[in-house]
Amino acid sequence: MTLQAVLNALLPRRCPGCSGQLGHSAGLCVACQSALHPQLQSRSPLSEAAAPHLVVLGPYRGVLGRSVKALKYGGSRELAAILGTQLGSGIPASWGVQAVTAVPLHPARMNERGFNQAELLGRQVATRLKLPYLNALSRQRATGNQAKRHASERRNALDDAFLATAGLPETILLVDDVMTKGGAHM
């Protein structure tokens, strides 16, 4: 058990969205939960091909921004369940998703943190959609210092950064906790 986990168990639980007392509930208070709405995005910064196939819970600020930060640093399963269930409810059945995966964390980060917040979310999305969760991607190598590269070089470096497992189903939903503008993950 980490020190943070011990502290979390001892201190009164606070809602990461509004800092209000959570009482016996865990994760996120009802008011903050009602502020989350999955949205289908018409434009994707990832790629043209992915454009009509993107669902987000909202911009990285306010209740959602604070919740995602809390998930990243605390790894609360209750919080992951609330966010993942909301995200999963926004995935259209027409996409025909067959399995769910998440963007892998860099191995050094994984060792340091002990969990991958994108995977925590992805597993909850899979549960919501009644689909299998697969470890479909692995990091092939460190992507290096992206800031020093030109855009085209940066894209190539990222293209090679992940390796897909063999024998995957055709349509897989990829879950990440934060999507940065122009910072394509795949």
CA dihedral 131, 134, 136, 138 (to 10 degrees): 140
Residue 182 CB, shortest distance to Zn ion, in Å, is 31
Q: Which helix (H) or strand (E) holds 79?
A: helix 77-89
What angle in degrees, to the nearest 10, is found between the helix axes of 3-10 and 62-74? Answer: 120
> Are 67 and 16 spatial neighbours (Cβ–Cβ below 8 Å)?
yes
Nearer to Zn ion, 32 or 87 (CB): 32
Nearer to Zn ion, 32 or 100 (CB): 32
Joined together, the tokens standing for residue 42 give 């018409």
Nearer to Zn ion, 70 or 120 (CB): 70
Residue 66 CB, shortest distance to Zn ion, in Å, is 9
Nearer to Zn ion, 29 or 129 (CB): 29
Residue 18 CB, shortest distance to Zn ion, in Å, is 3
How many Cβ atoms are within 10 Å of 4's Cβ, its own excluded? 11
* Binding residues for Zn ion (CB under 5 A): 15, 17-18, 29, 32
Q: Which residues contact 55 (CB under 8 A, 6 or more apart)?
A: 38, 39, 40, 41, 87, 90, 91
Nearer to Zn ion, 14 or 139 (CB): 14
